Every structure is written in structure tokens, then in C-alpha cells.
Amino acid sequence: MSHSNVKRGILRYGWWSRTNHWLVAICFVLLTLSGLALFYPAFFGFTALFGGPEPTRIVHPYIGVFMTLFFLIQAVRFFTSNLFRRHDRQWIKQMPDMLNNRDDRLPPVGKNNAGQKLVYWIFLLTVPILLISGVVLWRPWIADGMPIWALRWAAMIHALAAFVAILTLVIHVYSAIWVKGSVRAMTRGRVSHAWARHHHKLWYDEVVNDRDHVDREDRLRTRTVTPTDRPKEL
Ligand code: HEM
């Protein structure tokens, strides 16, 4: 699949990146529902979604292990685009512009803006904490052999990390809906040239200036002759 195409837009997320992301998202939502059901009586009704209280308790840690695996694959693939760069500092300083719909004033950013990078790092911190504290609490495999103080610490850390991760997810989903065209990037994979130029100018410049990634249609338009290439997917 080509990276940039005048008609179809620019490839932002390839097939596997999208599938991987939605697997993480589905697991995360199921974990939130089952976790809340186990955590607080007001959410007890959610146990019905998993076949009752006992199945909810059994299934919750298994979903957690799957989510961690899928998330770690995603985290490795997205690592470089989430490293903070010098221009991110200016973007953070101008966050009020973003919140007040003055995004035309924001400095140009790469594939991800500083807000998206922050979300990535919070997930990268909280997911392993959730896994480790969750494993300590895993009945009957691990928890039964653990001292009471370890169970208390694990329960507190698990709840705190879950709170931070759920809050981050709410912000993540809200921003995805807020920035029109983002959801399409994660469902269809491609974004329009105008969207990429407007929201991620440095990334856009990188993509369109990368001759290896410009496909045949683009080459015909710009009337340049280059050898047939095999563009790679992100
Ligand atoms: C459940 C609902 C979710 C929705 C609707 C959603 C939506 C989206 C959308 C639209 C994007 C593309 C943003 C863009 O490229 O501009 C995205 C990217 C991303 N999402 Fe989600 N997401 C969800 C859950 C999650 C979860 C649970 C995680 C991790 C635990 C996650 C981690 C990421 C990451 C790491 C990126 C890529 C940005 C980057 O490279 O860091 N998402 N998501």
C-alpha cells in the first residue's frame, strides 16, 4: 500500500496498527466495566455483561493479560513518534489556544502532538503497573500465597493506576472526537492532505518530501519520473 496518494489521502495507520489499536481499546473497555463491577457496589450491575459475579472475577485478569500484550506491541510500534522533541515544548505552552479552538495559532508538530505523546506515556506507565499489581491480586493462582500487606498495597496501587488510565482514556476519546478526522484515521487509516497539513505539518512535510513514499499517481501529477517504488506502510 502506498503512503501518500492524492485521491485517497495519506496513510496514517496501516492495517495492523489499526487492528492492534482496536484490540487494545476493546480489551480496555471490557477491563473498565469488569473492574468497576468488582470495585464498587454501584457498578455491580455490569457483572451481568460477563455472566455473573464469579465469571467477572475470573475473566477480568485474563483480559488484562491480553490487553497488556497487545498494548506493548502497539507501544513498541508507536515509540519513535512519541518521543518528545524541542517543538513540543512550544505546543504545550500554547495549549490554551488548542482548548479555545484557535488551533491555527499552534506551532507545527510531527506525527503526534505533545498531548497525544503525553497520553502515550501515561498509558505506558499505567498499563505495566496495572499488570503487576493485578497479578499480585490474582486469585487463586497468586493472591492466596501473598502476605496481607502485599495484597493491601497491590489493591491500592491497582485502583489508583486504573483511575489514572480511565481518566486518560476519557481525555483520549474526547480529543479524538474533538479533532474532526482523527477517528477516520484510526478506522480507515488514511487522512486528507488538508487534515495532515493542518494538524501535523512537520509529519506532512516529511511524508510528501519523502520521494520513496510518493506513489505513481502523485508522480504523474508532479510529472517527475522516478523508478517504480515499493512504498512501505506505517
Ligand atoms: C476505547 C476507545 C478509543 C478510541 C475511540 C480511540 C481513538 C483513537 C484515535 C481516533 C486515534 C488516532 C488519533 C490520531 O492519529 O490523530 C487513536 C490513537 C491512539 N490510541 Fe486510541 N482510542 C481508544 C482507546 C485506546 C486505548 C485503550 C489505548 C491505550 C491503552 C489507546 C492508545 C492510542 C495510541 C497510543 C494512539 C496513537 C497515538 C500515538 O501514536 O501515540 N487508545 N486512538
Share of the chain above pLDDT 90, in %: 82
Residue with more model confidence, 128 or 220: 128
Q: Residue with the nearest Cα to atom 41 of ligand 1?
A: 120
- 183 close to ligand 1 (CB < 6 Angstrom): yes
Number of Cβ atoms within 10 Å of the Cβ of 144: 9
Q: Is the pLDDT of residue 233 over 70?
A: no
* pTM, 2 dp: 0.87
Would 150 be classed as within a structural domain? Answer: yes
Would 212 be classed as within a structural domain? Answer: no
Taking every pair of Cα atoms in the chain, the longest distance, rounded to a whole number of angstroms, is: 72
How many angstroms separate the CA atoms of 7 and 17, rounded?
A: 22
Atom of ligand 1 nearest to the CA of 29: 1
Q: Residue with the nearest Cα to atom 28 of ligand 1?
A: 25
Task: Give residue 15's pLDDT band: very low, low, confident or very high (50, 70, 90).
Answer: very high
Q: Is the pLDDT of residue 33 over 90?
A: yes
Would 160 be classed as within a structural domain? Answer: yes
How many angstroms separate the CA atoms of 1 and 139, rounded?
A: 46
- Show contacts of 13-20: CB within 8 Å, 24+ apart: 13/185, 13/186, 13/189, 13/234, 14/189, 14/233, 14/234, 15/189, 15/233, 17/74, 17/77, 17/78, 17/189, 17/234, 18/186, 18/187, 18/189, 20/70, 20/73, 20/74, 20/77
Structure confidence at residue 8 (pLDDT): 79
Alpha carbon of 195 to ligand 1 centroid (Å): 17
Structure confidence at residue 232 (pLDDT): 42
Would 4 be classed as within a structural domain? Answer: no
Would 203 be classed as within a structural domain? Answer: no
- 120 close to ligand 1 (CB < 6 Angstrom): yes
Q: Strand, helix or coil at 10?
A: strand
Q: Is the pLDDT of residue 215 over 60?
A: no
- 124 close to ligand 1 (CB < 6 Angstrom): no
Task: Work out the average pLDDT over 109-123.
Answer: 97
Residue with more model confidence, 9 or 30: 30
- 203 close to ligand 1 (CB < 6 Angstrom): no
Residue with more model confidence, 147 or 234: 147
Task: Give residue 145's pLDDT band: very low, low, confident or very high (50, 70, 90).
Answer: very high
Would 195 be classed as within a structural domain? Answer: no
Q: What share of the chain is helix, strand, coil (3-state, %, to 5)?
A: 70, 5, 25
Structure confidence at residue 7 (pLDDT): 65
Which residue segment(s) compose the domain that 155 sits in? 13-189
Would 44 be classed as within a structural domain? Answer: yes
Alpha carbon of 182 to ligand 1 centroid (Å): 9
Mutate to test the pocket of ligand 1, among 21, 79, 234 (most ligand atoms within 8 A of CB): 21
Alpha carbon of 172 to ligand 1 centroid (Å): 7
Residues labelled as active-site residues: 172
Would 152 be classed as within a structural domain? Answer: yes
Domain at 97, CATH number: 1.20.950.20
Q: Residue with the nearest Cα to atom 24 of ligand 1?
A: 25
- 186 close to ligand 1 (CB < 6 Angstrom): yes
- 25 close to ligand 1 (CB < 6 Angstrom): yes
Structure confidence at residue 174 (pLDDT): 96
- 78 close to ligand 1 (CB < 6 Angstrom): yes
How many angstroms separate the CA atoms of 117 and 151, rounded?
A: 32
**Residues 202, 205, 206, CA angle at the centre, nearest 5°?**
85
Task: Please tell me the total count of domains within the chain.
Answer: 1
Structure confidence at residue 103 (pLDDT): 85
